[in-house]
């Protein structure tokens, strides 16, 4: 068997947000080297009783490579467990290079990055039609400087959604920079998601102008992401601009296709019902509104929720 180390993305924290493939690798491992400061130790419960688990926090790079390559060359199954997805700030390149020098191959099992757990916690799509169709995953410079040209203000000027890893220590400075050099308006939505998917997850919603003050008052730790951009919607609610554009675009498309049939719209929530009313008004076509909400004004047909399977 070829000597191999499997790099596994543990996901953002919640024990059940690791992939099936990642979990299976852990179950079969003889050695697991894990990033103890960020990875949920509960993942290690999946390991065999005789599996050796080493916290990489107390090991330097050379020690990690030695432990992993010794075990892999002895025919053991080795897992290197990283938080989120290993491709984002996982510092895996130097490990893969070091292992290769010892004749050990590497493979990667992806994981759910904290950016997606944070978006889920916020209940939002980062690529909202007509608002933003690009997401920049970046960080502020720390011990690792930023390569030339990758300045946050330059990204801000593109209008893309911005997600900052490893940056919660500098939110005030960063927000000022985004407004002053990046041209972001003071009311640009911003959010901080602390420990997304963990039991003590916390969410702060605001604007680039007030999120730093909120963060300071909340005294959150560093395991957090800062997300900035219009797709968050004002105060984190769905963007009105998007709502209006949606019904408008929908009407135009139907009209241009000469659709003259009858429409049924189904709403499952109060918000959905509001949107359905907007769409119905914009369609200018005979429309029946079906709703799980017991509101029978305006001839809405009420259907109990359990009837929608
Ligand atoms: N590979 C990881 C990122 C590692 S860098 C991933 O894909 O998520 C570590 C940084 O990730 C932290 O400083 C923080 O900014 C972010 N982070 C990791 N887990 C997080 C979580 N559960 N919630 C919010 N941010 C998190």
pLDDT digits 0-9 by tens, 163-192: 999 999 999 999 999 999 999 999 999 999
Closest by CA position to 251, among listed 274, 281, 295, 292? 281
d(C-alpha 141, C-alpha 42), whole Å = 31
Kindly report, residue by residue over 196-214, the tens digit of the pLDDT: 999 999 999 999 999 999 9
pLDDT of residue 100: 98
Of all protein residues, whose CA lies closest to atom 25 belonging to ligand 1? 224
pLDDT of residue 179: 98
Q: Is 222 in the pocket of ligand 1 (CB under 6 A)?
A: yes
pLDDT of residue 246: 46
pLDDT of residue 282: 67
Q: Is 40 in the pocket of ligand 1 (CB under 6 A)?
A: no
Contact 80, 60 (CB under 8 A): no
* Two structure tokens written together for 45: 């419960």
Contact 13, 40 (CB under 8 A): yes
DSSP H helices in the chain? 20-28, 61-73, 93-101, 114-122, 152-157, 171-180, 211-218, 240-256, 270-283
Q: Coil, helix or strand for 109?
A: strand
pLDDT of residue 25: 98
Contact 138, 155 (CB under 8 A): yes
pLDDT of residue 253: 43
pLDDT of residue 277: 76
Average pLDDT of every residue of the chain = 87
Q: Name the burial class of residue 245, with classes exposed (0-12), middle (13-18) and buried (19+) by CB atoms within 10 angstroms of its CB.
A: middle
Residue stretches of the chain with pLDDT short of 70: 234-263, 282-287, 289, 293-309
């Amino acid at each position: 068997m070829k000597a191999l180390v499997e790099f596994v993305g543990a996901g953002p924290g919640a024990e059940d947000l690791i992939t099936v493939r990642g979990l299976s690798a852990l179950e079969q491992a003889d050695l697991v080297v894990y990033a103890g400061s960020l990875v949920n130790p509960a993942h290690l419960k999946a390991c065999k009783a005789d599996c050796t688990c080493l916290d990489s926090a107390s090991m330097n790079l050379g020690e990690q490579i030695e432990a992993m390559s010794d075990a892999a060359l002895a025919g053991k199954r080795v897992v290197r467990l990283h938080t989120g997805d290993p491709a984002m700030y996982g510092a895996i390149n130097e490990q893969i290079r070091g292992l290769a020098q010892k004749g050990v191959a590497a493979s990667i099992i992806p994981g759910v990055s904290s950016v997606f757990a944070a978006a889920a916690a916020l209940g939002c799509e980062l690529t909202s039609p007509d608002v933003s169709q690009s997401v920049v995953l970046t960080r502020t410079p720390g011990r690792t400087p930023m390569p030339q040209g990758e300045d946050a203000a330059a990204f801000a000027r593109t209008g893309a959604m911005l997600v900052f890893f490893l940056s919660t220590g500098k939110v005030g400075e960063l927000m000022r920079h985004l407004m002053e050099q990046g041209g972001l308006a003071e009311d640009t939505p911003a959010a901080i998601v602390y420990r997304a998917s963990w039991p003590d997850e916390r969410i702060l919603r605001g604007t680039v102008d007030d999120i730093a003050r909120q963060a300071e008052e909340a005294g959150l730790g560093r395991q957090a992401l800062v997300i900035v951009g219009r797709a968050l919607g004002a105060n984190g609610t769905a963007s009105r601009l998007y709502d209006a554009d949606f019904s408008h675009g929908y009407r135009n498309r139907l009209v241009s296709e000469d659709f003259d049939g009858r429409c049924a719209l189904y709403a499952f929530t109060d918000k959905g019902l509001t949107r359905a009313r907007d769409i119905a008004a914009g369609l200018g076509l005979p429309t029946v509104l079906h709703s799980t909400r017991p509101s029978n004004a305006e001839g809405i047909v009420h259907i109990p929720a359990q009837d929608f399977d």
